């Protein structure tokens, strides 16, 4: 099914470009790497990946991976998609630009977006390499969630195989709509999850500031409690104690706004995606 597959990576020298290119380099596929910045070109050449022009990279490619920043995807797809061969696949790595109608659309091409989940906080890590691979794509297994906004029975299983490789090791590729993938990323993961992660660091720092304890003491108490909070709440490992439940109610009332669910409204999703893409608003 994927024998003789030809791929191209646009933006091969960026953060994701380097990650997906390293994994593609291990395959038998014919992969071409394109990158504009001299530093990004040097990073690839040092690892034995010859860098060619966008035109050269995509002209024969079956699947083109666009590893460029979301704010640049409109300009880059407008330049590159017309150079792609008929019937090929545009693969992007984040739903924001697709959700905001920022990709250059061309009749006859298939458009897929796939985002890595990153290795789970509950993953059993067996080796130092798995422990070190917090992002995923090197040693620690992760999942991916993908969306096709131009459905293709032909390309779906092939795209799934490519997604398994670029984000590998991958346990499973889940499929959703572009809209729902945008609900996961940014709303669930960034607007809520990453915000709460950073908030935990802020409260750790503030606890050190307002007490006589050093950071190690606070971390010792907090890190174990963060884990038990996550595993109790998300895996049902143990019930929270009765007193803890009362403190949790108090904290929720003090900190969380009553109307927090509004960030799931499409109008709010549009606002955050527009901010991320530096657009005035999302055009429908």
Ligand X SMILES: NC(=O)c1ccc[n+]([C@@H]2O[C@H](COP(=O)([O-])OP(=O)(O)OC[C@H]3O[C@@H](n4cnc5c(N)ncnc54)[C@H](O)[C@@H]3O)[C@@H](O)[C@H]2O)c1
Q: Does 133 help bind ligand X (rule: CB under 6 A)? A: no
CA distance 57 to 91: 14
Residues 97 to 116 in contact with ligand X, rule: CB under 6 A: 115-116
Binding of ligand X at residue 69 (CB under 6 A)? yes
| In the complex, least distance from residue 115 CB atom to ligand X, rounded to whole angstroms | 6
Is residue 13 at the binding interface for ligand X, with CB under 6 A as the rule? yes
| Region binding ligand X by CB under 6 A among candidate stretches 30-38, 101-109, 196-204, 263-271 | 30-38
Contact stretch for ligand X (CB under 6 A) within 11-19, 99-107, 165-173, 253-261? 11-19
How many positions of this chain bind ligand X (CB under 6 A)? 24
Question: Cβ 164 to ligand X, closest distance in Å?
Answer: 16
Q: How far is CA 140 from the centre of its chain?
A: 15
Any contact of residue 76 with ligand X (CB under 6 A)? yes
Is 252 a binding residue for ligand X by CB under 6 A? The answer is no
Does position 193 interact with ligand X (CB under 6 A)? The reply is no
Instruction: Give me the least distance between CB of 80 and ligand X, in Å please.
Output: 7
Q: Measured between alpha carbons, how far is 167 from 146 in angstroms, rounded to an integer?
A: 12
Specify the long-range contacts of residues 180-183, CB closer than 8 Å, at least 24 apart.
180/147, 181/95, 181/99, 181/113, 181/115, 181/145, 181/146, 181/147, 182/95, 182/96, 182/99, 182/269, 182/273, 183/264, 183/269
36 binds ligand X (CB under 6 A): yes
Residue 273 binds to ligand X (criterion: CB under 6 A): no
Angle (CA) 225-226-230 rounded to 5° is 115
The alpha carbon of 212 is separated from its chain's Cα centroid by a whole number of angstroms, namely 39
Q: E strands along 117-193, which residues?
A: 142-148, 170-175
Could you give the residue ranges of the DSSP H alpha helices within the chain? 15-25, 38-46, 54-58, 73-80, 95-99, 128-132, 155-166, 178-182, 195-210, 215-235, 242-255, 266-276
Among 31-39, 103-111, 210-218, 240-248, the segment contacting ligand X (CB under 6 A): 31-39
- State residue 274 phi and psi, 5-degree precision: -60, -40
Binding of ligand X at residue 67 (CB under 6 A)?
Answer: yes
Q: 56 or 205, CB closer to ligand X?
A: 56
- State yes or no: residue 147 binds ligand X (CB under 6 A): no
For residue 11, state whether it binds ligand X (rule: CB under 6 A).
Answer: yes
- Measure Cα distances from 255 to 12, 186, 232, 269 in Å: 42, 21, 21, 22
Whose Cβ is closer to ligand X: residue 169's or residue 232's?
169
Segment lying near ligand X (by CB under 6 A), choices 8-16, 22-30, 150-158, 232-240:
8-16
Q: Which residues bind ligand X (CB under 6 A)?
A: 10-11, 13-17, 34-37, 40, 54, 67-70, 72, 76, 92-94, 115-116
């Amino acid at each position: 099914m994927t024998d003789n597959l030809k791929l191209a990576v646009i933006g091969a020298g960026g953060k994701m470009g380097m990650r997906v290119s390293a994994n593609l380099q291990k395959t038998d596929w014919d992969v071409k790497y394109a990158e504009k910045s001299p530093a990004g070109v040097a990073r690839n050449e040092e690892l034995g990946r010859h860098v060619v022009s966008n035109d050269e990279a995509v002209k024969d490619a079956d699947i083109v991976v666009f590893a460029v920043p979301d704010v640049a995807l409109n300009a880059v797809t407008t330049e590159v998609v017309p150079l792609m061969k008929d019937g090929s696949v545009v693969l992007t790595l984040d739903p924001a630009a697709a959700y905001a109608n920022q990709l250059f659309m061309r009749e006859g091409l298939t458009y897929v977006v796939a985002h890595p989940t990153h290795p789970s906080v509950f993953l059993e890590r067996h080796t130092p390499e798995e422990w070190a691979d917090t992002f995923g794509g090197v040693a620690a297994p992760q999942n991916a969630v993908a969306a096709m906004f131009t459905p293709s029975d032909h390309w779906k299983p092939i795209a799934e195989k490519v997604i398994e490789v670029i984000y590998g090791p991958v346990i499973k590729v889940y499929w959703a709509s572009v809209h729902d993938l945008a609900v996961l990323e940014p709303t669930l993961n960034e607007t809520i999850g990453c915000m709460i992660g950073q908030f935990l660091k802020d409260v750790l720092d503030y606890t050190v500031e307002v007490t006589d304890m050093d950071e190690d003491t606070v971390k010792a108490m907090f890190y174990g409690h963060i884990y038990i909070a996550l595993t109790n709440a998300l895996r049902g490992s143990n019930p929270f104690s009765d007193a803890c439940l009362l403190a949790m109610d108090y904290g929720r009332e003090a900190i969380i706004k009553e109307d927090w669910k509004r960030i799931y409204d499409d109008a709010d999703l549009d606002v955050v995606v527009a901010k991320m893409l530096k657009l005035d608003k999302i055009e429908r």
